[in-house]
């Protein structure tokens, strides 16, 4: 970066303005207490005001009432103003109270200030191990020569065999206390960095959305070109580098096998004797619980992009229809005015009517049509042989019962497939009940439909016939 770029950041970047502010110590203390320390997002206004009032009370008690004389609500509005951009103020659907979240720039400053305190224990070995692990994955997964990849896998298998023989011989190497603490510190640091990255990812998605809406708002081309631009921009958002990496993380996190493996590893990590004295040991057990709300909010932002595009398109169509109606009303008004006050001169020229001449020989000759033989014998059916029960055997699928089935299974596990739910609560209404489950998954924010994986579901009809359906895999997740 050159001098001009750095000077531009100094003048315009929200994080730099936070460091230069007179009330920066109060703001940073409040941001840590309200957002970063408890790993909270989407905090309501009243809760933030209460937290800020407690901070102001402590400061004024030590430095006097003249220190930071404004009220908590005024400070909150000032920090969320566009010229500050330290907090993001927005409204959650269905609620009247505004909510706040820390911006990515403000969180970067908070992390930097926290790093200024220094650390009594600096993780170095775990960082080197992480570098080697990432480097090996990068090189091995990018290798296109099959012989080289087979040789590397053979080497890994030989090392695993040697390790198994050494363990069977009784030579079990256990990580020492400093090494365990080193890796634990690296784990917590990476988890916090990942949570902070979600805010920046969400902010980048909002920037893309804002660019698309600005382009649509100033559009002056045809309707077809507008549609082409909307779909192209929506595809660009999903296929962007930010969108692809986030979707990859979402798929990784939603994998049942990986989630179970993560839960098992976190539980086993808390039982390591060398980490029993760690202050924040309990925090690692909630890593995935902290990720899910953050990922869900970012995923919700992605869904809002499509909704905003659709809304803008509807507004465009409404304005065009309104313009057409105005033109029609103008033509009608002009016609009425002309009827009451006809012009003295010629209003318009109309071609004189002419007679259509049809010559006799232009008419085709008569051609007799072909007759169709129809059996006209009417056979009277016996009413006793007709089965009208199908007309009265209509039924209704209770959505609330299906929701109760899903909640009942999710009480015992974090997530479950539709096959797990139907195993605990078998299908009693056949294909109609299966379609209703599919509709619930499509409308829910806590369900995923994996089109690349299929699952087989079976149910039994009243006559004993066994039916089977193959559908996309549906995964229901317990709401955070």
59-115 residue pLDDT tens? 888 888 888 889 999 999 999 998 888 998 988 878 889 999 888 888 889 888 888
User: For 296-319, what is the mean pLDDT?
Assistant: 68
Q: If you search the block for the tokens 């695993």, which residue do you land on?
A: 160
Compute the distance between CA of residue 111 and CA of residue 36 in angstroms, rounded to an integer: 9
pLDDT, tens digit, for every residue of 394-408? 677 888 889 889 988
User: For 164-169, what is the mean pLDDT?
Assistant: 86
Encoding tokens for residue 57?
């009370």
**Inter-CA distances, 121 with 6, 14, 68, 178, 280, Å:** 33, 31, 36, 9, 14
Terminal-to-terminal C-alpha distance of the chain:
42
The pLDDT-based confidence of 223 (bands split at 50, 70, 90) is: low
Give yes or no for residue 231 having a pLDDT over 70: no
Look at 479 and 26; give whichever has higher pLDDT. 26
Among 102, 58, 94, 41, CA closest to 76? 102
Instruction: Give the H/E segment covering residue 43.
Output: strand 43-44
Give yes or no for residue 206 having a pLDDT over 80: no
The pLDDT-based confidence of 233 (bands split at 50, 70, 90) is: low
Give yes or no for residue 369 having a pLDDT over 60: yes
- Counting residues of the chain whose pLDDT is more than 70, the rounded percentage is 71
The pLDDT-based confidence of 26 (bands split at 50, 70, 90) is: very high
pLDDT, tens digit, for every residue of 128-158? 677 767 777 777 778 888 888 888 888 889 9
List, by residue range, all CATH 1.10.10 domains of the chain: 3-115
Encoding tokens for residue 383?
């009413």
Compute the distance between CA of residue 195 and CA of residue 202 in angstroms, rounded to an integer: 11
pLDDT at residue number 444: 87
Give yes or no for residue 446 having a pLDDT over 80: yes
Q: Are 475 and 447 in contact (CB under 8 A)?
A: yes
3-state SS class at 474: strand
**Inter-CA distances, 343 with 156, 334, 350, Å:** 98, 12, 16
Of 125-134, 366-375, 418-427, 451-460, which range is least confident? 125-134
- Burial of 122 (C-beta count, 10 Å sphere; 0-12/13-18/19+): exposed
Compute the distance between CA of residue 101 and CA of residue 96 in angstroms, rounded to an integer: 16
Residues contacting residue 113 through CB under 8 Å, at least 6 positions apart? 28
Q: If you search the block for the tokens 């908590």, which residue do you land on?
A: 72
Look at 338 and 241; give whichever has higher pLDDT. 338
Of 1.25.40, 1.10.3470, 1.20.1260, 1.10.10, which CATH number belongs to 3-115? 1.10.10
List, in sequence order, every residue forming a beta bridge with 89; answer none if it has no partner.
100
Compute the distance between CA of residue 243 and CA of residue 205 in angstroms, rounded to an integer: 8
Among 49, 59, 48, 2, CA closest to 26? 59
Q: What would the DSSP string read from start to end of 202-244? A: HHHHHHHHHHHHHHHHT--S-HHHHHHHHHHHHHHHHHSHHHH
Residues in the chain: 480
For β-strands 43-44 and 98-102, DSSP reports them as antiparallel
Compute the distance between CA of residue 381 and CA of residue 389 in angstroms, rounded to an integer: 17
Q: Are 181 and 274 in contact (CB under 8 A)?
A: yes
Q: Are 474 and 417 in contact (CB under 8 A)?
A: yes
């Amino acid at each position: 970066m050159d001098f001009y770029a750095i000077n531009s950041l100094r003048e315009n970047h929200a994080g730099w303005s936070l460091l230069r502010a007179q009330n920066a110590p109060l703001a940073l203390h409040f941001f840590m207490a309200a957002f970063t320390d408890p790993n909270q997002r989407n905090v309501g206004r009243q809760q933030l005001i209460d937290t800020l009032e407690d901070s102001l009370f402590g400061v004024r008690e030590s430095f006097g009432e003249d220190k930071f004389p404004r009220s908590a609500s005024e400070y909150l509005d000032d920090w969320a103003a566009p010229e500050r951009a330290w907090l993001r103020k927005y409204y959650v659907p269905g609620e009247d109270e505004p909510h706040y979240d820390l911006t990515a720039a403000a969180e970067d400053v908070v992390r930097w200030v926290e790093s200024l305190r220094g650390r009594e224990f600096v993780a170095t070995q775990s960082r080197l191990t992480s570098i080697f692990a990432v480097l090996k994955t990068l090189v091995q997964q990018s290798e296109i020569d099959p012989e080289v990849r087979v040789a590397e896998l053979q080497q890994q298998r030989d090392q695993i065999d040697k390790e198994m023989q050494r363990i069977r011989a009784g030579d079990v190497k256990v990580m020492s206390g400093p090494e365990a603490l080193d890796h634990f510190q690296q784990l917590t640091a990476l988890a916090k960095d990942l949570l902070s990255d979600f805010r920046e990812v969400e902010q980048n998605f909002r920037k893309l959305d804002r660019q698309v809406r600005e382009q649509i708002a100033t559009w002056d081309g045809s309707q077809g070109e507008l549609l082409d631009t909307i779909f192209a921009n929506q595809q660009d958002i999903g296929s962007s580098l930010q969108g692809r990496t986030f979707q990859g993380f979402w798929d990784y996190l939603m994998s049942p096998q990986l989630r179970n493996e993560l839960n098992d590893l976190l539980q086993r990590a808390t039982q390591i004797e060398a980490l029993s004295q760690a202050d924040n040991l309990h925090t690692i057990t909630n890593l995935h619980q902290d990720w899910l709300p953050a990922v869900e909010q970012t995923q919700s932002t992605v869904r809002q992009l499509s909704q905003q595009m659709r809304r803008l398109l509807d507004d465009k169509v409404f304005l065009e229809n309104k313009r057409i109606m105005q033109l029609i009303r103008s033509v009608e008004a002009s016609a009425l005015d002309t009827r009451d006050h006809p012009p003295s001169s010629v209003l318009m020229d109309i071609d004189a009517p002419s007679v259509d001449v049809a010559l006799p020989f232009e008419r085709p000759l008569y051609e007799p049509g072909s007759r169709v033989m129809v059996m006209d014998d009417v056979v009277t059916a016996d009413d006793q042989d007709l089965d009208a029960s199908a007309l009265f055997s209509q039924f209704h699928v209770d959505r609330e019962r299906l929701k109760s089935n899903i909640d009942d299974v999710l009480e015992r596990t974090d997530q479950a497939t539709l096959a797990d739910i139907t195993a605990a609560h078998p299908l009693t209404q056949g294909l109609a009940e299966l379609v209703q489950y599919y509709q619930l998954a499509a409308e829910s924010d806590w369900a995923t439909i994996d089109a690349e994986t299929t699952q087989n579901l079976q149910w039994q009809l009243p006559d004993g016939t066994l039916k089977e359906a193959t559908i996309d895999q549906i995964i229901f997740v317990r709401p955070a």
